[in-house]
A and B are shown apart, each in its own frame.
Chain A
């Protein structure tokens, strides 16, 4: 059987010390390599919380999160950070770029932070990514000089700069107009197709969710539905490329 990229086993998350609120209740599912998944659900249902757990930014209250079969709960903070940097990319609703740096510097930043030193190969890689997201001419602009859509495209390029196996996107189009949002979504799909990167995209937009391979719905911290989306062609990772959804 397919080796899952990520597996959640009965994951719960509580907040609060004296008054404990359970935000996630026994979540279990797996993500396969190259899967293009939408995570939907009403506001406050726990989508962001789940994404932070998957992204190894936070630890579950109970349950296990296995990345390529390895239990991440056994890793120290440092190893977790390293693993996160190398396997997972993030795109957030508010782009979260570094305003003091140019577009190309932002895209280079994850590799730079990992290796410690910049080199020409890194720069070339970042330039290539920016060309792919259509920002070749905006490369050396401060990110603060870019439009919202352009900023989000820089964020997509940055999320992909370490060639991660999984990209987590929290409402990546939530702050954009429809046209820019569609552009960004199309980019995610394109990288998924070309590089086999798995995506988990939180979205409120049913139109976008429908264009994903799989749709997981979260209500009040519980998975209420987990179905194939869009054209309904997706069955397993192996025939992913044949699925004609998303365009």
Chain B
């Protein structure tokens, strides 16, 4: 083992109480960072999951399908993300088969499906509700939004005149699997469908309004024979959705809305949450660095006699500097390993405290290797940086002083 390591390790083992204190300091700091990061990123992942549970990453539609009636009105205008197009204005994406091919070739796109979406009314007996017809190809659509796993009764089966409705709509109309409902488009086309399944995808609006039918039924009902109103796209990296959407828009001439654009508020929220978390981490790191530095400064003072002896023996200054840098690095590294264990344990404990009815944790935590590595690297570098000042102090010690008065 090299001289520097031998001396550094021996000194750390020698100063038992000091080493334990400083290691606990680093461990607590790293534990806080790991816990905080795991909790914040866990919450963010679950927020995003929930958002993307009812929404395609990118939705393509005809550009001229702007919601004119809303915009032309006088007075304050509210343009929401889910603007409903009047059925009579519903028009197909031109040559959508070719568009599908071109979208599929876009890098980053992992799945896509054509859909027909439009307003209608659902009637059972005298009860009547405004709904949103979602005419989809089941295999393709389930790859975009996984409704299949959110079925609470029946199956996701929409062949022929079968339909699948949300739990809220089912409750409002008193529907159970096997019941029949009449769906009518605004232009009075209508058709009777049999309920084959009821879903709950955790979004009240969707549970209240979405009615899944086959693509063909949707086309017939919404007077869009052979056409599709939207193409829904899934991408590999959700945070590149916006740039891919812009690329798709340029490539196809269609309007392309990414989930990022329709959830700006959420993203702003996540971003400010991230920056406050970084601030907290920064202060924790500074506190840890000051702790390491102060303990090492004390140890340099305590060891000044021995440092002087080492220098009198001809030990090069750079070796003495390295001894202390290694001490800092070791304290950072070992402390961070303890801290990762502490933070992970704390996170798991916290996650186990409160559970949702379905058994998932109320506070999901996201523990991953990248987080552990990042915490350890930061702590080790912090240790080295914190050791720099004490190391140079040691290097400047005059051996004559030590020998004469030590």
Which residues does A use to contact B, with CB under 8 Å?
48, 52, 55, 57-58, 77-78, 81-86, 90, 92, 94, 96-101, 109-110, 112-118, 158, 162
Instruction: Tell me the complex Cα distance, A84–B313, Å.
Output: 7
Which residues does B use to contact A, with CB under 8 Å?
1-4, 6, 10-11, 14, 305-306, 309-317, 319, 399-400, 403-404, 406
A-B contact pairs, 23 of them (CB 8 A): A48-B404, A52-B400, A58-B400, A77-B317, A78-B316, A81-B311, A85-B315, A90-B403, A96-B312, A96-B406, A98-B306, A100-B306, A109-B310, A110-B313, A112-B3, A112-B6, A113-B3, A113-B313, A113-B314, A113-B315, A113-B316, A115-B3, A116-B4
Distance of A187 from chain B, by nearest CB (Å): 19
**Chain A residues near B404 (CB, 8 Å)?**
48, 52
Give the nearest-CB partner of A113 in chain B: B315
Starting from the known contacts A109-B313, A113-B314, 19 additional A-B residue pairs (CB-CB under 8 Å) come to A48-B404, A52-B400, A52-B403, A58-B400, A81-B314, A81-B315, A83-B314, A84-B312, A84-B314, A85-B313, A85-B315, A97-B309, A98-B306, A101-B10, A110-B314, A112-B6, A116-B3, A116-B319, A118-B6
Distance of A215 from chain B, by nearest CB (Å): 24
**Chain A residues near B1 (CB, 8 Å)?**
117-118
Known contacts A52-B400, A57-B399: does B314 contact A85 (CB below 8 Å)?
A: yes
Which of B3, B314, B316, B317 neighbours the largest number of chain A CB atoms within 10 Å of its CB? Answer: B314
Instruction: Tell me the complex Cα distance, A117–B6, Å.
Output: 9
Establish whether residues B310 and A94, one from each chain, have CB atoms under 8 Å apart when the complex forms. Answer: no
Instruction: Tell me the complex Cα distance, A114–B319, Å.
Output: 10
**Chain B residues near A84 (CB, 8 Å)?**
312, 314
**Chain A residues near B311 (CB, 8 Å)?**
81
Instruction: Tell me the complex Cα distance, A90–B400, Å.
Output: 12
Distance of B404 from chain A, by nearest CB (Å): 6
Which of B2, B313, B403 neighbours the largest number of chain A CB atoms within 10 Å of its CB? Answer: B313
**Chain B residues near A162 (CB, 8 Å)?**
314
Top 4 A-B pairs, shortest CB-CB distance: A85-B314, A113-B315, A100-B14, A110-B313
Other-chain contact of A100, B2, B11, B314, B317 (Cβ < 8 Å)? B11
Distance of A17 from chain B, by nearest CB (Å): 15
**Chain A residues near B14 (CB, 8 Å)?**
100
Establish whether residues A114 and B314, one from each chain, have CB atoms under 8 Å apart when the complex forms. Answer: yes
Instruction: Tell me the complex Cα distance, A90–B319, Å.
Output: 20
Distance of B313 from chain A, by nearest CB (Å): 5
Instruction: Tell me the complex Cα distance, A94–B3, Å.
Output: 24
Other-chain contact of A57, B10, B11, B403 (Cβ < 8 Å)? B403
Instruction: Tell me the complex Cα distance, A90–B10, Å.
Output: 23
Other-chain contact of A81, B11, B305, B306, B317 (Cβ < 8 Å)? B317
Which of A55, A57, A86, A90 neighbours the largest number of chain B CB atoms within 10 Å of its CB? Answer: A57
Distance of B314 from chain A, by nearest CB (Å): 2
Known contacts A82-B316, A92-B403: does B310 contact A113 (CB below 8 Å)?
A: yes
**Chain B residues near A116 (CB, 8 Å)?**
2-4, 319
Which of B14, B399, B403 neighbours the largest number of chain A CB atoms within 10 Å of its CB? Answer: B403
Instruction: Tell me the complex Cα distance, A116–B1, Å.
Output: 9
**Chain B residues near A112 (CB, 8 Å)?**
3, 6
**Chain B residues near A90 (CB, 8 Å)?**
312-313, 403
Known contacts A81-B314, A96-B406, A100-B14: does B400 contact A57 (CB below 8 Å)?
A: yes
Instruction: Tell me the complex Cα distance, A84–B316, Å.
Output: 11
Distance of A231 from chain B, by nearest CB (Å): 33
Establish whether residues A96 and B309, one from each chain, have CB atoms under 8 Å apart when the complex forms. Answer: yes
Establish whether residues A113 and B10, one from each chain, have CB atoms under 8 Å apart when the complex forms. Answer: no
Instruction: Tell me the complex Cα distance, A81–B205, Å.
Output: 79
Instruction: Tell me the complex Cα distance, A96–B317, Å.
Output: 19
**Chain A residues near B306 (CB, 8 Å)?**
98-100
Give the nearest-CB partner of A51 in chain B: B403
**Chain B residues near A81 (CB, 8 Å)?**
311, 314-317
Distance of B13 from chain A, by nearest CB (Å): 8
Give the nearest-CB partner of A87 in chain B: B314
**Chain A residues near B314 (CB, 8 Å)?**
81-86, 110, 113-114, 162
Establish whether residues A98 and B309, one from each chain, have CB atoms under 8 Å apart when the complex forms. Answer: yes
Instruction: Tell me the complex Cα distance, A112–B5, Å.
Output: 11
Distance of B359 from chain A, by nearest CB (Å): 54
Give the nearest-CB partner of B402 in chain A: A96
Instruction: Tell me the complex Cα distance, A81–B4, Å.
Output: 17
**Chain B residues near A96 (CB, 8 Å)?**
305, 309, 312, 403, 406
**Chain B residues near A86 (CB, 8 Å)?**
314
Give the nearest-CB partner of B403 in chain A: A92
**Chain B residues near A98 (CB, 8 Å)?**
306, 309-310
Establish whether residues B406 and A94, one from each chain, have CB atoms under 8 Å apart when the complex forms. Answer: yes
Instruction: Tell me the complex Cα distance, A83–B316, Å.
Output: 11
**Chain A residues near B6 (CB, 8 Å)?**
112, 118
Instruction: Tell me the complex Cα distance, A86–B315, Å.
Output: 10
Give the nearest-CB partner of A93 in chain B: B403
Give the nearest-CB partner of B315 in chain A: A113
**Chain A residues near B310 (CB, 8 Å)?**
98, 109, 113
Distance of B11 from chain A, by nearest CB (Å): 6
Establish whether residues B3 and A117, one from each chain, have CB atoms under 8 Å apart when the complex forms. Answer: yes
**Chain B residues near A48 (CB, 8 Å)?**
404
Instruction: Tell me the complex Cα distance, A99–B13, Å.
Output: 13
